[in-house]
Every structure is written in structure tokens, then in C-alpha cells.
Structure 1
């Protein structure tokens, strides 16, 4: 038997359930598209100093292709070493898991060996499988590591999954969270219904990955029906590629939302108004106009402009900014300058790069 959630440090589980900012960690490459260890370390230090509650490494934003070039374990190792060397705060370390069952199980074992607390399980490789086979796949991986489910939007390779699937998934005892990222209200509600029907709302923490609705997801209750009565669930935090950029402001935003929800007086209008502004930024970062083709490069470009990355190189030489995307990044940087953390980065960048 692998790692069970009951074996996790109590402060890690408490933070996961309270809700934290977990950025999806990008991959720093040099001009030869080789791993840039120094700038990868700088990114980790940046996220830690922003006050994040965890890091997701080896996920979509880190580029799934790291597996094809022998970088999966080195990149996971780097994030763990650099985070531990930079802070003694408890950070929830989540490893991306991908591929068919044999591969995903091996990646889970690697993650546990390196000290990771949970695995974010991509189901893209199981797209052709039936629900029974997908659940069996999830159970096999959950035998090795606590699982964070992942409803990935179909536009970038996700599988459409109904409420009954999510009921069965939430019934797997070693599932501790779900990243809900179908970019679709109806499918988001399917996850909520599934968790409620499994009576797993106290074990499973819900994290938004809906980059098109970050602020509202975190602000509003989701009430679904179970046996004729209402059950209310909430997103407690976010595990987001969007939050790999302007991360200091993301931490401040989540703190503000948590405080407003706890006060119970309703959400102030100026906070709710941020939903559209953050989504506007995301449209540029994630290259929505071109079906997300430049989503990783867009985040890289924002980090490059801040001096954290040297360039926007991806492992796939065909992956880069789309036509017009740089102009959109210019626009949102200008129109939403108060949502950026440029001054914070400028004040600390040389220390992170040292």
C-alpha cells in the first residue's frame, strides 16, 4: 500500500481544507530548450514568497512533454528541494500524474518517494475508455497516493464526465480534493452533485480550475439536492495555471474572499466586480481567441516581462504566442495594472535569481 491521506501531516490537510492558492508551476527553459535550473528555482522562490499554500508540479502548465524528455523526476525534485530550502512553512506539494494506468501508477510512486503529498490525475489518456475502466484506473492510482481529481476542459484534452462518474470517483476513499476545470457551469455542477451524492463533502476539498470564473467560483455557495434536501458546497481555493502569474495578488484575493465569506455579510460589489476583470486577464494569458493554443506561452510571456523567465520557450518548438496575443497581453497589463505584482517582483527578483 502506498501513501494514505491519514498519513499526511495534520497542517497539510488543514491547509488543504481551509483553502489555499496553488499555482501550477511552469517550466523554465533556456534558448536551447534545456532545463534552466536557476530560473526554475527563482520561480519556486517567487511563489513561496507570494504566500502560496502549495505547488502543483508536472501538470499541464509544466508541460506534459517533460515525460518524453526525461524531465519528470528532475522537475519534481527541483520544486521539492527549492521549496524546502526556501521556507519551513507547510506547503501542499501536488504532483501531476498522467498516462495510462501503468505510467500513472509509476509516477505516483515517484511522487511519494520524493515527498509529494498528493497527485493531480489527468484522465486525458483514458479518453477512449468507458467509465468503469476510468474508475478502475483511478482506484489503482489512489492505492499509491492521495488523489486530487481533475476535470480538465475538453478543449485541451479533457474527457466529458457526468455526475454519476463523479459520485463513483468521490467514493474512492483516498481522494482528498478535486480540481474542477471544465470551463462550463453545467459540468461544474455535475462535480458538486457527485461529491454530495457520495457524501464526501467533508473529505474532499473543492478547488477551482475554472480560469474563466475564478472570483465567482470562490465567492458563491453551490447548493445541490440530496434525498430531497439541500447540500451546500464551496470552492475553498484554486489550483490554477492562471495563478502562476501575478501570484502575490492571487494570494491577497483569496484572503479577501475568505474574510468576506466568513463575515457572512454578503460579498461587496467591488469584489464581485473583479470576476470580469480577472477573466479578461485570463483571456489574454490563456489565448482564448485561438482556442488556448498559446496558454502556456502566454503565462511564460508575463513571467518573461517581469524578468523571472529568460524567454517563452516551450519543449514543443511549435508552441508559442498566437498572432495578436502579445497585443492582448499589452492591453490587459495596461487596463488591469492594479492586479499585477510587478513592483513586488522587481523588488525581489535578484534575490530569487541568486
Structure 2
């Protein structure tokens, strides 16, 4: 990995998971897809994650055929950015598919792949480690503990301890939405002696607390330094600001209160009350209100807002006006939507 990019990743940056902009026919809306990338870059993020859960795994379906086109659009916009960005692309599937996807990411100039193991729910630990090593031979790998509620699987301490021994692992996105499982990952990295694996939160229900928490095992301290989050695909300018405020900070009443506010917003956006059924549509709804998306369409016609979810989004908008970046978007939206 480029040393400048590696230094950014290790320092800890805000990386939103990039959504997919579709039109009413559920086809790619290239203009709005580019506008989303431009928004995030203008908001001050230092990286983008594309082709991940928030981008919709169905982009890989041969009948859809959007995996490479969507990654290419984001790469083009990142090429235009005034400062370097950490470029992460999602990779999934069984080993042959994952390796081919990693090769595509390398061709398009991405720096690392976020490796989902959702397709290998029944595989043994040995098979999972062999799979990860095969992908790591192609590209630097960001491990991904995806919560089971949205397709992941439980991955115990033993797996993460062995995973941390893979040389080309550069970071781990910890997203089980579970304190015990989060501890498993951090302890595994510490016990493996891998000071060079950056820890990123994907726990959208615990973002601020993850940044404020010092972890210590056997006298060795570690911190979660950055976030790679679906939540940050909305209200991104504010996310960059509070990431800078909280990363490595000591907890205060004010910051803990901010954590509760962010989690409450996430419950509405991610549709926690309905087992995350509307998690992607909820993010789309915020972007639609801000004028960046035309609608909330997903590739899967069965994905949409749950009953009451729109009201919940109304509620958190009213409760936490200091957390949205609507004014920033309104000022620049027409430029981002231009040619």
C-alpha cells in the first residue's frame, strides 16, 4: 500500500459506505451516483468504501452488472479530489469470486478490499482463513465482522487471532453490533502483536463510544481510530467533525450525550425496530430529502421503508438539528449534480 495512504488509514479517518443511486426504473443514475461521491469528498471525508453492503450486494448479480461500473465511477471522482483518499472496495462471495473481484479492484486503483465472509456461513475456520489468505495475495485486506442480522456470521476469537497473522491485513472493520464480539477482535489483534492493523468501527449503534474507549489487554493498549460506516453515508459533514472531536478523546458527559444522539439517529435510519429491514432505504430517504437522490429505490423491489420508519426519521430530524448537514448540501448540491 502507498505509504501516504497507509499513514492515513493508520491515523484513523472517516470513511462513509457509498450508497447506490438508482432511477425509478431501478437503473443506475450516473449523475446522482457521481454527486454522492462529490458530496462526501466535499464534506471532508478521507476515504470512500464502495461495493459494500450500503452499495447493495446485488450489484454483483450478472443480470444487474453494476459492480465494476459503480467502482469505476467512484474511482474517477476520487481521482479528481484535491487530496489523497483511502479507496476501499467491497469483495464478497466464495474464493474464486472474491479473488476475481479483488483483481478488478486492483485494476481500478483501489488501495484495499473490505472482505465480507457472508457467502461462507457454513465454512470451517480453516476454510475461512485459507479464503482470506487467497484474497490477501491479490490486495491488502480490511477484515469485516458483519453483524448476523444483515447476513454476517459469528466469528470467534480464534478466527480473528489467526486472521491477524495474515501479513497483508491492514485494518479490520468491527461491525457485529455486539460488545463481546467487538472485544474478541481487539484482543485478537493485540495478542497477535499487530500494531500495524488499524481498528475501525462499523458498530453504527455505538460509534462515539467506540472512539472514546481505551482497550487494554496484557498491558498493551489499543484504540479504535476510524470509522467505516453506513451511517456516515448521510450527514457526512457532521460525521467528519465529530470523528475529529472524539477520536482518542477522554469521555465527557457532553460526548457521551452526543453518542446517544447519534445512536438514536441510527436507530431511525437503520430501522432497528424492524430488524434492519429498511436500513438501506432509510439512508436513501435522508439523501432524497436532501435532494441528492431522486427516490429511495433499491435493486430488490422488496426493500423499502418499514411502517413508521419515515416518522422516526422525522423525529430525529427534529430532535437533533445540529447533526444534519442539510444547509451545506443545499449550498453545493447543484454543482455536484452538474456535469
TM-score of the pair, normalised by structure 2: 0.98
Is residue 2:281 matched to residue 1:297?
yes
Q: Give the Å deviation of 1:55.
A: 0.2
Which residue of the partner structure matches residue 243 of structure 1? 232
Deviation string 1:296-341 (CA, Å, 9 cap, x unpaired) is 0000000000000000000001100000000000000110111000
Indicate the residue corresponding to 1:5 in structure 2.
Answer: none
TM superposition shift of 1:223: 1.5
SS at match of 2:327: helix
Equivalent position of 2:160 in the other structure: 166
Cα distance in structure 2, aligned partners of 1:156 and 1:70: 22
Q: How many residues are aligned here?
A: 336
Aligned counterpart for 2:90 among listed residues 91, 96, 107? 96
Identify the residue that residue 70 of structure 2 maps to in structure 1. 75
- The answer for the alignment partner of 2:50 in structure 1 is 57
Residue 36 of structure 2 is aligned to residue 9 of structure 1: no
Q: Stretches of 4+ moved more than 6 A in 1?
A: none
1:118 paired to 2:107: no
- CA–CA distance in 1 between the matches of 2:82 and 2:46? 12
> Of residues 100, 105, 123 in structure 2, which corresponds to 1:106?
100
SS at 1:150's partner residue?
strand
* Match 1:155 to one of 145, 149, 156: 149
> Could you say what secondary structure the match of 1:267 adopts?
coil
Quote the Cα distance in structure 1 between the aligned partners of 2:283 and 2:200.
20
| Counterpart residue number, 2:293 | 309
Inter-partner Cα distance in structure 2 for 1:84 and 1:333: 33
Q: Secondary structure at the residue paired with 2:228?
A: strand
Is 1:337 paired with 2:332? no
* Paired residue secondary structure (2:200): strand
Q: CA deviation at 1:160?
A: 0.5
- Superposed displacement of residue 11, structure 1: 1.4
Counterpart secondary structure, 2:219? strand
Among 118, 128, 132, the alignment partner of 1:134 is: 128
Corresponding position of 1:178: 172
Query: What is the SS of the residue equivalent to 2:254?
Result: helix
User: Whole-Å Cα distance in 2 between the matches of residues 142 and 248 of structure 1?
Assistant: 32
Specify which of 23, 26, 41 is matched with residue 19 of structure 2.
26
**1:273 match: secondary structure:** helix
Which sections of structure 1, spanning at least 5 residues, go unmatched? 1-7
Q: CA deviation at 1:153?
A: 0.4
**Whole-Å Cα distance in 1 between the matches of residues 2 and 192 of structure 2?**
25
Shift of 1:97: 0.2
Q: Which residue of 1 aligns with 2:79?
A: 84
**Displacement of 1:268 after TM fit?**
3.0
The CA deviation string for residues 99-126 of structure 1, in whole angstroms up to 9 with x for no partner, is: 0000000000000000000000000011
C-alpha separation in 1, matches of 2:52 and 2:169 = 18
